[in-house]
Amino acid sequence: MSRHRVGGAPRRREPSLPPWLRSGFAPPLAVFAVAVVPFLRTLSFEHTYDDHAHVVRNTFLHEPSNVWALLSSRYLELDVPDRGRPLLLLSHFLDRAVGGGAAWVGHLQSSLWHGVAALLVWLLGRKIGLGPGAALAAAVLFGVHPVCVEAVAGISNREDVLTTVFALLALLAALAALARHPAFALAASLAYLLALASKEMALAVPLLALVLGCSSRARPPGWRRGAAGLALGFTLVTAGFGWAQLRLGTPGLLRDAGSAPLQQARAAASLAPLAALTAVSPLLPPPRSRQVHPLRVVHAPAVAGLRVVQLVVGHPTRVEYELAPLASFWAVALGGALLLLLAGAARWLAPRYPPLGLTSAFALIATLPVSLPSLLINPVADRFLYLPAVGASWTLALLFSRVLPGILRRPVADVGLPLLLLWTSSFLALSARATGRWRDDVELFSHATLTAPRSARAHQNLGAALMERGRGPEAEAALFAAVELDASLLSAHYNLGLLAERSERVSLAIDRYGEALVRPTVRGELGLRERTVERLGLLLLRTRRFRDLDALIEREREVLPDSRVLDELARRLAQTRPRSVP
């Protein structure tokens, strides 16, 4: 009886698991512990980065009764951070209910959700055909993957973890519906809805379910009913999500929101895969205000190439980036060459190792909702790779356990296992270093300025963090560095004005605030612009520069037509100005 051969060599079996990992509860407990334990150190960490605006200063979360607003018709009228992600807001309400706003509770909840995600990576890996060893290795790699750190260690980034958890649950239920239980189509649709309620990147779930379903060789009786139920459920959920996003004003895709000029394509963006916009985006009119980064659709190969490196080797990434190098010709050329090389390798390997093609396709599809750099404020943020890291971890596990041993015709214990241990150790070390940077804002942005010295936003954020700790001279130096790198950075000018005002340098504060207002402002910065106008207006009143205040109010009415701050400044000006002054 002949043996089945793959790639010209006898098919190599995975080494059997140790006895203690063969029991029913040992693998899931090991996976959960490996994913959660390294992040327990974050329980002593502070709120960082976007946590301040989305969690700490978000007054909507301070009133427990507002929970019901997320579950009623009032939801569509809300104007709060993350309003398009109600499940994320509910998780923040839970943080406050348990810990009263303490950071450790938020970090603990994010760590536990990460453990659940790793468990689902193991379970779904077994369902799609990975052996026990490969599935366990994939879950461990995912649990310690460096690209997952930003989503877990940053409390306000929890939406990526929640989306992935419910996306994987939806896929598990979808496979069950196709196998023999059509009723699971309802569970899959519900999980898909919860994934979308966490973050819009879950729009990839229907396509992922299609790929996983088509890869199944068995077609048991009733699979057509399950497929029909899934198609109907996913269609209704997607349509409902699109309707809700339109009612909310598609908060993530507004023109001048710091993203691409997509106001004319808002409906299509809400109801169709975002990847389809690659053909439309270059035809849209340019935005009337500045862009926050230089990347456009034509630079997608460079971004995709960087993401491949991040997913495969766990390259130590950072919160702030210098994106200009990715816009160069050579970056686009190298990224395109890397993608072509990977496509050729996949074409050769996929027929010989079918699960490898499936897991690679999963990683690719999971990046589609965030594949266009022009749609995103920070197109290479690590947190966007949380769901793609699932497919990447499966792929790495298969490479170590089956592909490389088969190509080299060596036992798995001689080739795959050492490489697996090397990759796991490397990922764990890189993750530990990356996690430590989230201890506080000063630590986080000090590292960002070292690794991205040309990033104005990194210097501005470091300056803001130093201001919070009363380290004025250091903060001023960081903010001046930010302004030198990007003179249009409103927040840096505003913070320089605050520093000058706190030290009673009134004339300098007026100049700094004025500098902040002479440049265009993206939609996402209108609130900060209004605060700048308020600070400047109060100083002009204080120094009795009434004509300057008149000019300021008249000029800013064009930018902030419904501003209560301007109304209040006009009222105070009318009360304060002597009648003899015209």
Q: How far apart are CA 563 and CA 27, in angstroms?
A: 57
> Residue 332 in contact with residue 302, Cβ under 8 Å?
yes
Over range 57-62, report the average pLDDT: 88
- pLDDT > 90? residue 155: yes
Which of 274, 252, 259 lies closest to 368 in space, CA to CA? Answer: 274
Q: How far apart are CA 78 and CA 83, in angstroms?
A: 7
> Residue 534 in contact with residue 550, Cβ under 8 Å?
no
> Residue 296 in contact with residue 290, Cβ under 8 Å?
no
The answer to which of 128-132, 293-297, 357-361, 527-531 has the lowest mean pLDDT is 293-297
Tell me what pLDDT residue 220 has. Answer: 66
- pLDDT > 80? residue 275: no
Confidence of residue 23 (pLDDT cuts 50, 70, 90): low
* DSSP class of 5: E
Q: Is the Cα dihedral 406, 408, 413, 419 positive or negative?
A: negative
Please state at what angle helix 26-36 crosses helix 132-143, rounded to 10 degrees. Answer: 20
Q: How far apart are CA 345 and CA 482, in angstroms?
A: 43
Q: How far apart are CA 142 and CA 149, in angstroms?
A: 11
**C-alpha 116 chain-centroid distance:** 18
Tell me what pLDDT residue 266 has. Answer: 36
In the chain the domains, ranked by start, together with CATH numbers, are: 24-250+289-436 (no CATH), 441-576 (1.25.40.10)
Q: How far apart are CA 39 and CA 432, in angstroms?
A: 9
Tell me what pLDDT residue 328 has. Answer: 85
Which of 476, 481, 478, 477 lies closest to 497 in space, CA to CA? Answer: 476
Over range 233-251, report the average pLDDT: 83
